[in-house]
Amino acid sequence: MENLDQRVAVIGAGYAGMAAAVTLAQEGVRVTVLEAGPVPGGRARRISSEGRELDNGQHILIGAYGELLRLMRLVAVPAQALLRLPLELRYADGFAFRSLWLPAPLGLLGGLLFASKLTLAERWDAVRFMGFLQKNDFHVEQTLTVLDLLQRHRQNGTIGHYLWRPLCVSALNTPPELASAQVFANVLRDSLAGEREASDLLLPRVDLSRLFPEPACEFVARRGGEIRTGALVRDLAAMRRKFRAVIVAVGPHQLKALLPELAGNYQYQPIYTCYLQYPASVRLPFPMLGLAEGLVQWAFDRGALTGERGRIACVISAQGDHQQLQRDELAAACHRELARALGGLPDPEWSCVIAEKRATVACTREMKSLNLRMKIEGVYLAGDYTDPDYPPTLEAAVRSGVRAAQLALAPPCTAS
């Protein structure tokens, strides 16, 4: 019989757990992954709804997601699984921002200077704002919210409406009045002001479980690992007795069941995705289109991305009035906004609203100052909410998984 003492267990097959499992398997460690749900992916997974396969929510990656992109290559995800576009924010009402194809920071600065709808003074203030951030190495006062930061630098007018606010809500999933200015600055540092390709938009062309978690499971299985879905872990102590080390890669609200002493009192922010199925001929002018005037923030053309022709995914990130609406009312509002933006649309054949009420923890100043210290020997924590630097995203999840695996691989310290 195999000696389980040498195995490492990973609880949770989301992006964090699978990043940990792949890192361990690559080092020759036998891994057992235990996942409560029916498919791997966690908050970024394929779901089945009324006989249709959908993602639980539209996701975007950016070129700065270095760890996720590295692991996707390692587990042999084909490059065509992502549509790579140079950063371009296009709105239905004509606003457009495009980072120019120049080395950083010239691409961004050029983009700001050429953005439409801005006055000359606003362009100049925006360039000075980026200059201020660069000069300070993207360090800002820890106590500031994103709104404070934008107000201080006169960035809350048109440019705030079309560029900074949508970037904050999309990247931090938290409204600017609550979001941490430092985490926002970290995102700008790594994306807009990073390497030329770091700000590229990467839009999935396959479902979110196929994008990384399932190829990662296959990679682990080929190296003698085991993936068990439908396996809810209730007893961490029993796991510790069985395995050499345990990586706990569950969502923050699921931590209470396993590690109540670490489960902080997190605040959460929602993300709603409304799928609208139109006749196959309906297309958006751009695969990702901004709608700046109503509830919908971004609309994605799934026909152009995944071949699901006529299907539009409308995304509403962070808290807002839309949470008061019934699902059919919300779907009707999304259809009206889209029809207005595109100058008319037929009625959708069907619609489906997916409300992820705890999509991520709120990325506030208080949240990022929480110091999660694992005190149980042989137990390591991973998950998007544990990253000290990055907002809760796929990249934060993957980074945390790699880090937890490296800690589990390190030989135990011996007291001198």
Ligand X SMILES: Cc1cc2nc3c(=O)[nH]c(=O)nc-3n(C[C@H](O)[C@H](O)[C@H](O)COP(=O)(O)OP(=O)(O)OC[C@H]3O[C@@H](n4cnc5c(N)ncnc54)[C@H](O)[C@@H]3O)c2cc1C
- Those residues whose C-beta lies under 8 Å from the C-beta of residue 345, and which sit 6 or more positions away, are 278, 282, 335, 338, 339
Q: How far is the CB of 319 from ligand X (least distance, A)?
A: 14
Say how far apart CA 43 and CA 259 lie, in whole Å. 20
Closest distance between ligand X and the C-beta of residue 86, in Å?
18
Nearest to 218 by CA among 77, 78, 56, 80: 77
Return the structure tokens found at 69: 């992109």
In the complex, the smallest distance separating the C-beta of residue 105 from ligand X, rounded to whole angstroms, is 23
Instruction: Give whichever of 35 and 308 is closer to ligand X, judged by the CB atom.
Output: 35
Q: What is the dihedral of CA 291, 293, 294, 299, to 10 degrees?
A: 0
CB closer to ligand X, 36 vs 150:
36
Phi, psi (deg, nearest 5) at residue 43: -80, 5
Q: How near is the Cβ of 340 to ligand X at its closest, in Å?
A: 24
Nearest distance from C-beta of residue 217 to ligand X, angstroms: 12
Select 10 or 104, whichever has its Cβ closest to ligand X: 10
Nearer to ligand X, 112 or 284 (CB): 284
**Closer of 126 and 367 to ligand X (Cβ):** 367
Neighbouring residues of 352: CB distance < 8 A, sequence distance ≥ 6: 49, 50, 52, 54, 274, 275, 331
Output the CA torsion 249→359→47→234 (10° steps).
40
Q: How many CA atoms lie less than 13 Å away from 381 in the CB half-sphere? A: 21
Closest CB to ligand X among residues 340, 358:
358
Rounded to whole angstroms, how far apart are CA atoms 75 and 272? 30
Residue 138 CB, nearest distance to ligand X (Å)? 19
Report in angstroms how near the CB of residue 398 gets to ligand X at its nearest. 8
Nearer to ligand X, 59 or 205 (CB): 59
Instruction: Tell me which residues touch ligand X (CB under 6 A).
Output: 11-17, 34-37, 42-44, 56-57, 59-60, 232-233, 249-251, 254, 257-258, 271, 273, 356, 359-360, 383-384, 392-395, 397
Minimum separation from the CB atom of position 119 to ligand X (A): 31
Task: Provide the b/e sequence for 364-390 (b: ≥16 CB within 10 Å).
Answer: bbebbeeeeeeeeeebbbbbbbbbeeb
Q: Are 376 and 215 contacting, i.e. CB atoms less than 8 angstroms apart? A: no
Tokens 């951030």, located at residue = 133
Nearer to ligand X, 125 or 356 (CB): 356
